[in-house]
Structure 1
Amino acid sequence: MADIDNGERLARLRAWLEENGADLAKLELRASAHGNGVFARAAIGEGEEYARIPRRLAITEDVCRGALPDVALTGRVLLCTFLVHQRFVARDRSFWKPYLDILPDRIPTALCFAPAELALLKGTPMEHVVADRLAALAAEHRDAQRAAAAAVPAAEFGLDRYLWAASVVSSRGFGQSMGAEHVLLPLLDMMNHRPLTRVTWVVGDDSVAFAAGAAVGEGAEVVNNYGAKSNDELLLGYGFCAADNPCNRYHIRLNNEQDPQAAAKQALLDHAGAADRDHFVYVTGLPPSLMPMLRVMVMTEVDVYYTQQQLAAGELAAGWTARLGLRIELRARLLLAHLLRTKLQALRPVDAVDTPGGRLAMQYRGEIRAMLQAILARVDGGVRRLLDVGSRAFAAGRHMLPGYMASDGDAVPPVAGDSDDGSDSDDGSDGGSDRAAKRARTAPPPFATALLSLDSLGSDDEFAEAIEQVDVEEDVLLTLFVLRCRMRPESPWHAAVARLEGFSHPMLVSGTEEHVKMMMDMGELHDTLFPLLSEHFPDVFPPASFTPELFLWAAGIVEACRLCLPAALAGASSDGEIEGLCLV
Structure 2
Amino acid sequence: MAGACGDELLEQFRAWLEENGAALDKLEFRRSAHGNGVFARAPIGEGEEYARIPKRLIITESVCREELREVELAGRALLCTFLVHQRFVSQDSFWKPYMDILPSDIPTPLCFTDAELGLLKGTPMEHAVADRRKSLQSEHQEAQRAATAAIPEDEFGFDRYVWAANVVSSRGFGQAMGGDNVLLPLLDMMNHRPLTRVTWAVGDDSVAFAAGATMREGAEVMNNYGAKSNEELLLGYGFCAPSNPLNYYHIRLNYSQDPLAVAKQEILELTGAADLDHYIRISGLPRNLMPMLRVMVMTEVDVYYTQNQLAGKAPGDGWAQQLGLRIELRAHFLLTHLLRNKLQALGPVAAVDTPCGRQAMQYRDETRAILQSTLANLDRAAHRLLGAGRAAFDEGRHLLPSYMSSDGLPAVGDSGDNDQSSDDAGTDGDGGGAPKRARTSPPFADVLLSRHSFASDDEFADAVEQVDIDEDVLLALFVLRCQMRPESPWHGAVVRLVDFVHPMMESGTDEHAETMMEMGEIHDALFPLLSDHFPDVFPPERFTPELFLWAAGIVEACRLRIPADLVDGCGSGAASVNGDDDSSDGGIEGLCLV
- What TM-score do you get using the length of structure 1 for normalisation? 0.85
- CA gap 1:444/1:244 in 2 versus in 1, 3 angstroms: farther
Q: Which residue of 1 aligns with 2:590?
A: 580
Helix, strand or coil: the match of 2:25? Answer: coil
Counterpart CA distance in 1 for 2:229 and 2:172 is: 17
Counterpart code for 2:348: P
Alignment of 1:53-452 (within 5 A): 53-90=53-90, 93-310=92-309, 314=312, 317-318=315-316, 320-408=319-407, 447-452=444-449
Counterpart CA distance in 1 for 2:128 and 2:350 is: 22
Q: Which residue of 1 aligns with 2:578?
A: none
- CA gap 1:202/1:443 in 2 versus in 1, 3 angstroms: farther
Q: CA deviation at 1:164?
A: 0.9
Worse-matched range after superposition: 396-405 or 359-368: 359-368
- CA gap 1:575/1:222 in 2 versus in 1, 3 angstroms: same
Counterpart code for 1:375: T
Q: CA deviation at 1:358?
A: 3.0
Q: CA deviation at 1:190?
A: 1.3
- CA gap 1:521/1:156 in 2 versus in 1, 3 angstroms: closer
Worse-matched range after superposition: 74-83 or 491-500: 74-83
Structure 2 portions without partners, runs of 5+: 410-438, 573-586
Counterpart CA distance in 1 for 2:408 and 2:359 is: 53
The answer to whether the 8 Å contact 1:400/1:409 transfers is: no
Worse-matched range after superposition: 552-561 or 290-299: 290-299
Q: CA deviation at 1:238?
A: 1.2
Residue identity over aligned pairs, in percent, reads 71
Counterpart code for 1:33: A
Q: Which residue of 1 aligns with 2:35?
A: 35
Counterpart CA distance in 2 for 1:117 and 1:62 is: 38
Q: CA deviation at 1:241?
A: 2.0
Of 478, 481, 486, 2:483 maps to: 486
The answer to whether the 8 Å contact 1:177/1:201 transfers is: no
Of 471, 478, 501, 2:498 maps to: 501
Worse-matched range after superposition: 188-197 or 255-264: 255-264
Counterpart code for 1:174: F
Q: CA deviation at 1:447?
A: 4.7
Q: Over residues 374-406 of structure 1, what are the superposed CA-to-partner deviations in whole Å (9 max), with x where a residue is unaligned?
A: 333333333333222222212211112122211
Counterpart CA distance in 2 for 1:462 and 1:187 is: 84
- What TM-score do you get using the length of structure 2 for normalisation? 0.83
Q: Which residue of 2 aligns with 1:562?
A: 559
Q: Over residues 490-510 of structure 1, what are the superposed CA-to-partner deviations in whole Å (9 max), with x where a residue is unaligned?
A: 322221111111112233323
- CA gap 1:58/1:445 in 2 versus in 1, 3 angstroms: farther
- CA gap 1:409/1:245 in 2 versus in 1, 3 angstroms: farther
Counterpart code for 2:229: S
Q: Which residue of 2 aligns with 1:453?
A: 450
Counterpart code for 1:261: L
Helix, strand or coil: the match of 1:121? Answer: coil
Of 549, 569, 581, 1:552 maps to: 549
Q: Which residue of 1 aligns with 2:429?
A: none
The answer to whether the 8 Å contact 2:406/2:500 transfers is: no
Q: Which residue of 2 aligns with 1:432?
A: none
Counterpart code for 2:129: V
The answer to whether the 8 Å contact 1:347/1:369 transfers is: yes
Helix, strand or coil: the match of 2:119? Answer: helix
Helix, strand or coil: the match of 1:38? Answer: strand
Q: Over residues 430-464 of structure 1, what are the superposed CA-to-partner deviations in whole Å (9 max), with x where a residue is unaligned?
A: xxxxxxxxxxxx99767554111222222334443
Counterpart CA distance in 1 for 2:551 and 2:138 is: 62
Let me know the Cα RMSD of the aligned residues: 3.0
Counterpart CA distance in 2 for 1:96 and 1:409 is: 80
The answer to whether the 8 Å contact 2:60/2:180 transfers is: no
Structure 1 portions without partners, runs of 5+: 411-441
The total of aligned residue pairs comes to 547
Q: Over residues 166-202 of structure 1, what are the superposed CA-to-partner deviations in whole Å (9 max), with x where a residue is unaligned?
A: 1111111123333342222222111111222221112
